[in-house]
Structure 1
Amino acid sequence: MNIREDFVRPRSDRENAARRAAILEAAEKLMLESHNQRFSISNVAQRLGVSQSTIFLHFRNREELLTTLYTQVGKNFFETFLGRLHEGMSDRAFSEAFIDTAIEFPGFRLMRPMIMRVVEESLNQDYIHDAVKEIYLYRTAAADHVEELLKLGAGDGRRVMKSFVNLMCGAVQADIGKLLATEKMDEEVADGVRSFDFREAFLSGAELLMIGIRKSSNHDCS
């Protein structure tokens, strides 16, 4: 395959950044469409219309491409989420801001379990460690802001953010309606699968989490 004219070896940092951005954009679209079923360097290259060797000019391997993409979507997620927070918001409004941001950025909620598998399976932990650390720093900064905004106890902001991310990923895993052929099920079971709502499932769990954290915080202060 011929290398696209706009993907020849870049001669400047700006050109290099533009190529990397185009690769990451194609990788994210492929990941969202296939849910990691067809995510490979060859498929990303095919989508862009370039050779695999062109991708390797910018990313050492599939793992580096994935972790770089995860860092990017995580940064966008937390920046957008923080922009939706404001003084005096209720716990319900806070929970809605989180899940609505997750819905807006599906790459973040889909990639987290993918990245955990990449970390487990990779032979080179260095750059993966750096990517995960960077996401952790974004989450920690968001947690400290949340703690102050919602007037939570010391350390509770981090507990909330960690719990919300885990709850979000759990709700995604439970959303099996898109994967099952409900017409082949018993009607009662099919109705239950069709009635599942990812957003409401998250919010019901988030409400219980916030009640528990506030009770714990009040108990510690008494």
Structure 2
Amino acid sequence: MADPDTPHAGVPRPAQRLRHEDRREAILEAATEAFYRHGYGSAALRDIARQAGITQATVYYHFKNKEEILLTIITEFSDELFQALLSALARDADPVARLRNAIERHILFTKTHRREVKIILEDMKFLGEALNARVKEKERAIFSLYRTHLQELQRTGLIRDGDLIPTTFSLFGVINSLYHWYRPEKPLTIERIAGELADLLLNGLLRRPAAAGAPRQGGERC
């Protein structure tokens, strides 16, 4: 099936190929904004196409339906978050500092990807069972990343004994709650919030509280 917005049939020239990729990204950007502003249920494909500057037929060339667009937004966000956390957990020799890096990086993600966080929390319910299972698999990978690192800290005696499943869920709950109360226009910066929440979470886990002057990714101390 030829892209309706490609002027000539056949193998696209490099410039045409770039436009093809740009159109897909334009659809995802327009859909992300529409789902964030109006919710998945109220966002129409014709409006997404108009915002992206393409025809509705072109949307169907790139995606089967609106549900596949939603899935793509969520999975691409999840993949990006997973890679960011993986990098944060490998960035320091000290395992406690690595966990701090991951917590702070995750929190900063809630600012830079605020729209995607809202879409995941409010619109994932619109995915069918099979697609929802694919998203859950990615969520489990992120969950496992944290739990594996916590297990390492527990084995070395750095954090308290206990079941790490509720601990990891609690960590996720604190970070996800930011979407409901953090407002970028307020004086309290996300960098400062990241540092303070990292302190709170670490001091609740460690056998000894994290040092007051421990290095952190961003912001001043209270």
TM-score (norm 1): 0.63
Deviation at 1:37, TM superposition (A): 1.0
Matched, 1:176 2:183: yes
Measure the CA separation in 2 of the matches of 1:129 and 1:63: 11
5+ residue gaps, structure 1:
179-193, 216-222
Distance 1:133 1:79, change over 3 A: same
Q: Aligned AA for 1:61?
A: N
Measure the CA separation in 2 of the matches of 1:5 and 1:54: 9
Measure the CA separation in 2 of the matches of 1:9 and 1:119: 37
Measure the CA separation in 2 of the matches of 1:197 and 1:6: 48
Moved more, 32-41 or 129-138: 32-41
- Of 70, 82, 85 in structure 1, the residue corresponding to residue 86 of structure 2 is 82
Q: Aligned AA for 1:171?
A: L
Q: Aligned AA for 1:37?
A: R
Count how many residue pairs are aligned between Structure 1 and Structure 2: 190
CA deviation profile, 1:20-73 (whole Å, cap 9, x unmatched): 7852x3245346666711665334423443222221233333232112211111
Alignment of 1:108-119 (within 5 A): 108-119=113-124
Distance 1:163 1:107, change over 3 A: farther
Equivalence for 2:203: 211
Equivalence for 1:130: 133
Measure the CA separation in 2 of the matches of 1:19 and 1:137: 33
Deviation at 1:95, TM superposition (A): 2.6
Distance 1:113 1:125, change over 3 A: same
Distance 1:96 1:78, change over 3 A: same
Matched, 1:45 2:49: yes
SS state at 2:68 partner: helix
Measure the CA separation in 2 of the matches of 1:60 and 1:99: 37
Distance 1:9 1:74, change over 3 A: farther
Equivalence for 1:198: 190
Percent of residue pairs identical:
16
Equivalence for 1:66: 70
Distance 1:177 1:74, change over 3 A: closer
Q: Aligned AA for 2:36?
A: N
Contact 2:88 2:105 in 1 (8 A): no
Contact 1:139 1:161 in 2 (8 A): no
SS state at 1:76 partner: helix
Equivalence for 1:5: 6
What's the Cα RMSD here? 3.9
Equivalence for 1:181: none
Measure the CA separation in 2 of the matches of 1:31 and 1:164: 30
SS state at 1:90 partner: helix
TM-score (norm 2): 0.63
Measure the CA separation in 2 of the matches of 1:7 and 1:202: 51
Equivalence for 2:172: 165
Contact 1:30 1:44 in 2 (8 A): yes
